[in-house]
Amino acid sequence: NEISGGISAENIILTGFGQGGRMVWHTGFGQLTQKIGGYFPIAAYPQFPVLSDGLNIADFTFYDDAMKFFIFNGEDDPIFLPGPDMDELSTVFALIGLNIDSVIQSYTVTKDVGHELDSRYFDVMMAFVKDKSVTEINDYERRDTPLDGFSWSEYLFINWD
């Protein structure tokens, strides 16, 4: 809908937390038919069709080495343990011919974080949205709540085109 409304696909990003993060995987590979600006799953494992069990390339609606994924996980997440997601991605990407090192822009496992948001994830996302820079969470200070002190107004009036 956004593209037909005049927004460039390069200026669209997907993000989600937990099950919403799984939908980032599903939408990016199983719903979209072109590359968008970026993909930011948080505290989530890959979702169909990005699963090696019963992999069927026909289920993928789009994949390309130019896709840009930023993956965030908590080291102490009891739901989505860090590690198995990258094992799964490595297997699937090899099967479909994607270069994992070009697609995954950042893979972050955050110390002392469980199944929760870390304010610095937003900082990394917004730096990429603002000027396509790839930063790391250690470039930022952690705030008490994910959006505490975060100014959306800085990003509301970006001239995308």
Contacts of 118 (CB under 8 A, 6+ apart): 72, 74, 110, 137, 142, 146
Q: List the pLDDT tens digit at each of the 161 positions of the chain.
A: 788 888 889 889 999 999 999 999 999 999 999 999 999 999 998 887 777 777 888 888 999 999 999 999 999 999 998 888 888 888 888 888 899 999 999 999 999 999 998 989 989 998 998 889 999 999 999 887 655 555 555 544 444 44
With CA atoms as reference, report the closest residue to 110 among 86, 134, 83, 137: 137
Strands (E), the chain: 13-17, 38-42, 69-74, 104-110
